[in-house]
Structure 1
């Protein structure tokens, strides 16, 4: 298994996950299952479930359940469905490896290095700033766009952050926002990783990152707390009302942002409960032509010890996702609908 990366990304849609009609080769598929069983046994964030997953996969393989499929993608989805039926984990999955992406330059969280995942940004109404994220890739292109937005909207009285279709990524984009909206250092959430995994493959985190501080944890766990630290040059956003728009498609690192803001009472969450994926890890090759996302850690509320895995983060103001922007604008005191505001986005 390659070194796990901090990559809280949601699974890609089927059409984007693999080339159409990739051929099924029995020997390659069985090798992938054997590698996957070994990988979860050695690295899965909960050792007891890692062992159970491995036993389950090996039993299915011995029973011939993975010997005949019409194409490679159908096989990979069957393995993923079997794993989630056995024990639900929204991140653990087997995929067909995408040859076109092998060896290409990537952002820190696995996406294209030049991707800009800021979908829209600007003024929705006087004093009301808006930014819409497709994901958190950690790419310099996206980070530059976030810095520009924060500078150009530093006097906003209300800030609306839209993550209704955000499948996740990493922490870099949200850290830029935290530095402007928190007036004092604040502990956000805790993050655990199996110590054996980190010792073997290295840390998925930058050891010099001052926003991820090592703290005491269980013997088999390396625990860090994620901090928000105000920027040296802070803007008026530290006093802004913040509204976070969520939906059932809000996943993974976007849920990290959701719980961090909700737990610290720094934002009002408007919309739907999020998708329910709290585990992080990284992609690793399995056999020939396959790869798996192996969760090696989790993020959770330090007050309760609970994560959002399988349950999601509940909004403060529950409305259908397509009504969330209207509701946030109303809460911000703006006399404009979401559709009209977006149409005239400045």
Structure 2
């Protein structure tokens, strides 16, 4: 299952802004900074953005407030002139955040180069070899396995590498999952890990989506067997994400698990963080995560822009609280660059973190 970018029910523009819990955190788009401002494109983008937020934003009242603000600013000429498309998009994003803060919601300019590289609105990823999002993995020392994710794209290359990693490291007594640079994505990769890490069926987190949005557009989740509908408020469709262990749980179900986090751990990587923390299955080490708990997708706005529209929220079923705006707090707070060393210390490993990583080779260029 992939609840981000083209797999969401919207007509999606595939360019590297990332997506949700499931959508990855918007990433850098340096080429967009050079795009020229066009007043007609800007007007079309604001008009479509107001409509999309009013109809689809996870919180209906906030969606209406966003729309009212955008239409009022457009009417008084607040979006008529800017030095560049980037400046305009940043102003709109700031205006949105002033109405109601959301870690995913933002407007971005789109260049011709982005469309060509990613296949255009509604198109798929074009050109280039599919790459895994596993930056590096392997044995750090005897009994201590390590895997570093740059994201959770759910592509074949990443899935294959995770499956191979599990097969080769099932006997680990300690597993270190590095999510310090993980901007998010979907559930596929973490689901592969979950079924190995848990010894009994376990509810992880709860996910709500506006009922009107799903009834209009269909489910963004497909037939994911790890999600099931449960009772919820009248205006939302509620699901719980759960794990069913492998038929014969192996040593990983009893292994110590450490999850490394930073302020750059975002969205689906925070879904992973909360799931492991609230069930007591892992010790989180590092920094509080980035604070984006609302899933959705990237939608074209006119011809020159696109916006990430959050349509649902993920939260702790025990408390009702999400990590939106606050992040998931680590169990052991240390600077992010010291998190691996701390995990190795807790694992009783007699190896220096930098030396251990050298054995795995350099960080690979990965999919995001």
Q: TM-score category by the smaller chain? A: over 0.9
* Alignment correspondent of 1:93: 106
* Alignment correspondent of 1:122: 138
Q: What does residue range 125-274 of structure 1 map to in structure 2 within 5 Å? A: 125-206=141-222, 208-274=223-289
Q: CA RMSD in A?
A: 1.8
* Alignment correspondent of 1:102: 119
Q: Tell me the SS of whatever aligns to 1:8.
A: coil
Structure 2: 5+ residue stretches without partners: 1-7, 13-19, 362-368
* Per-residue deviation, 1:224: 0.3
Distance across 1 between alignment mates of 2:265 and 2:332: 16
Distance across 1 between alignment mates of 2:76 and 2:273: 43
* Alignment correspondent of 2:68: 55
Structure 1, residues 292-344: CA drift from partner, whole Å, max 9, x if none? 11000000000111000000000000000000000000000101121111012
* Per-residue deviation, 1:252: 0.3
Q: TM-score, normalised by structure 1?
A: 0.94
CA gap of 1:215–1:135, structure 2 versus 1, over 3 A, is: same
Structure 1, residues 178-228: CA drift from partner, whole Å, max 9, x if none? 01000011000000000110011111001x322100000011100000001
Distance across 2 between alignment mates of 1:306 and 1:115: 35
Count how many residue pairs are aligned between Structure 1 and Structure 2.
339
Report if the CA contact (8 A) 1:164-1:246 is conserved. Answer: yes
* Per-residue deviation, 1:106: 4.1
Distance across 2 between alignment mates of 1:140 and 1:265: 30
Q: Which consecutive aligned stretches of 4+ in structure 1 deviate over 6 angstroms post-superposition?
A: none
* Per-residue deviation, 1:284: 1.3
Q: TM-score, normalised by structure 2?
A: 0.89
Structure 1, residues 17-62: CA drift from partner, whole Å, max 9, x if none? x444112110110110011011100110000000001111111112
CA gap of 1:276–1:283, structure 2 versus 1, over 3 A, is: same
Distance across 1 between alignment mates of 2:52 and 2:37: 22
Q: Tell me the SS of whatever aligns to 2:104.
A: coil
* Alignment correspondent of 2:17: none
Structure 1: 5+ residue stretches without partners: none
Q: Tell me the SS of whatever aligns to 1:94.
A: strand
